[in-house]
Amino acid sequence: MAEFVRLESDPTHPAVAVLRVDRPKMNALNSQVQREIRAAAEQITADDQVRAVVLYGGERIFAAGADIAEMVDMSYADMTAQSGELQRAFTTVAQIPKPVVAAINGYALGGGCELALCADFRVASSAAKLGQPEILLGVIPGAGGTQRLSRLVGPARAKDLVFSGRMVDAAEAANMGLVDRVVDVEESQAAPDEDPVYTAAVQLVARYSDGPAVALRAAKQAIDSGLETDLETGLEIERLHFAGLFATEDQTTGMRSFLEHGPGKATFNGR
């Protein structure tokens, strides 16, 4: 059993899995948490009953970054090995072949921000703070902050955040494209025992939970892989995925339903 990372099903949407980081007080992402995140992501990937995912750190904080106390006395040789494990853990999350949303309360800093960057979407509390403060420690981001961030918001904005180490609030994060939706927690109508950010995140990905799972996986892989290459190669990646979907039951179901009942009426089985 994992100590700091657990997998749950959302009670109202059983096909939505919740990958919950729970290491009080700040969800510091030490090596054990990284291993547990990787194991949880691998389990989600292998589970056909899971159709969408929420990354969640709880109602108070998403994750305040790596565990500095664990790293402070590491040598170059130590970190050469450890950084590879860190990147592999986060890449496993980024490669989950299902829609993934990060539900961000409080701080998402350093490794916490980098974990959020592994999601397809990010929903943040209006009180959230995001950033890559590693430069203030004399280092740079090591789990995707120079790469995923620049691909998401552009190189100039990424350099501003990485060079300065400053935090941005949810409004600025949304303006630069780092966050996709901001939930005003002051105006939220959520019940006292509900987290409006978590609820909004579930609502965002639950819409995909009864979709054609193989096609959604293909779409995610085509977009993510295509961004890493030239247009011609990206188009070939798209073409191969597109053609391959004609071997699925969902393609037959979707097209026949369209002809008989019109768009948006198909019931997919994920095969």
Measure the CA–CA gap between 66 and 77, rounded to whole angstroms: 18
Has 134 been annotated as catalytic? yes
Alpha carbons 145 and 131: distance in angstroms, whole number: 9
Rg (the chain; Cα; Å): 19
Distance of CA 3 to the CA centre of its chain: 21
Q: Considering 8, 42, 70, 114, which one is annotated as catalytic?
A: 114
Q: What share of the chain is helix, strand, coil (3-state, %, to 5)?
A: 50, 15, 35
| Three-class SS state of 62 | coil
- Give the separation between CA 120 and CA 247, rounded to whole angstroms: 26
Residue of 8, 85, 134, 186 marked active site: 134
Active site residues: 114, 134
